[in-house]
Amino acid sequence: MTQQDDFPVDDTVGAFVPHGRFVVEGAASGPLRGLTFAVKDLFDVAGHPTGAGNPAWLATHATPSENAPLVDMLLAAGARLTGKTVTDELAYSLHGDNIHYGAPLNAAAPERVTGGSSSGSAAAVAARLVDFAIGTDTGGSTRVPASYCDIWGLRTTHGLLPAEGAVPLHLMFDCPTWFAADADVFERVGRVLAPESGYAPKRLMLLDDACELADLDFAFPLAAVVATLQDSLGVSVQRLRASEGSSLEAWRGAYMTAGAHEGWRLHGDWISAEDRGFAPAIAGRWRAASQVTDEAAAQARAQKDVIRQKMRDLLGEDGVAVLPSAASFAPRRDADPAEVDATRMRTMAITCIAGLAGLPQVNMPFTAPDGAPLGVSLLGPAGSDLALIRLAIATQRAILASTEAGS
């Protein structure tokens, strides 16, 4: 095990936490041998403290004696663990700005934020400091940074990967995930973590209500993805509104209410014991969470169950849906906080779809004509994670090849 003074990474983007500068060697052989990875500072690594983005948490929780099971899976596959990365405090944000550890630099768009809460993991991958990185996705904390940072990212089927040994936010939505800059590495990790399935998409859908929440910059890549899938699958696209009879804003409300109530039940006693030094925006979210009534939470959970079943019925076993990964480009680092919050609300109305349904969603990285990153996603049935990754990679490569041939 390499100690902090010998940390081999030149952290040019502020991706790593001060207590996360160490190396753990993986197995001598395995499918991931030769690859390096970092883990979001929510996951336990034996002998190293877990900080969850907050110094008070770091100071009041014992150093773990065991690795999180997901960390063990990757080490056993031969990957080399290279440190722990910055997260928004208790993962309760999509912005990627931590008042204690800073805002990691987005190498793909230095004037813009990385997004969060898996900010350090996304930053480390975008800057090629590691080959892949582990994050989490509760309300979009992998899909959004992946979209902002021009990298691959997946929200896994809920429950697919072990969440033990990781600090939770909302257990009913939390998903361990991973990022990679290289598509082949992204799939290579997927072959270790996700099972093969018989998923073969035969129906293609475009979620109009999600697309309407995104800026116009997403129109061209969305259309390109749909057209490419129509050709490759040999099907026509069905345009529909996922929230027909309701609205994605109402879905976002159900997600936020149910999640906030559960988050407060998990952490409320610790938060209330004394001032934990949260950033104002995150402190405000915890205050709001403390006020969610049991009745309101029960109603939101019931709504979640209805949405979950609706989306699973919609996709069936052979459907694939296209939607934007976020509502906009990454906000600028000096953006007005009110603007940032408005963008967050629009984005969460998009990302809540997969969260409420517990379904896998993979981000395909694209860039706008001015070079700003943005992502388009594929949403698939439960358990289709690995096949969905392969479909997304093939689709993105076909689009890029067509673009290069036409230029």
Q: Is 182 exposed, middle or buried (0-12, 13-18, 19+ CB in 10 A)?
A: middle
How far apart are alpha carbons 161 and 177 in whole angstroms?
A: 8
* CA neighbor of 98 nearest in space, from 4, 171, 15, 175: 15
Catalytic residue among 93, 117, 119, 325: 117
CA torsion angle for 125, 129, 135, 140 (degrees, to 10)? -30
Whether 65 sits among the annotated catalytic residues: the reply is no
Question: Alpha carbon of 68 to those of 131, 145, 390: distances in Å?
Answer: 20, 23, 27
Helix (H) or strand (E) holding 312: helix 294-315
Catalytic residue among 93, 118, 121, 141: 141
Catalytic residue among 40, 118, 119, 384: 40
Q: Which two tokens stand for residue 48?
A: 């190293």
Our measurement of the distance from residue 120's CA atom to the centroid of its chain's CA atoms, rounded to an integer in Å, reads 12
Helix (H) or strand (E) segment spanning residue 354: helix 337-357
Active-site residue flag, 141: yes
40 is catalytic: yes
Question: Which amino acid type is present at position 183?
Answer: A
Cis peptide before 117 (omega within 30 of 0): yes
Q: Which of 316, 83, 326 is nearest to 201 (CA)?
A: 316
Element of type H or E holding 231 = helix 219-233
Q: How far is CA 93 from each of CA 46, 59, 115, 283, 329, rounded to the nearest angstrom?
A: 26, 21, 9, 11, 17
- Residues annotated as catalytic are 40, 117, 141
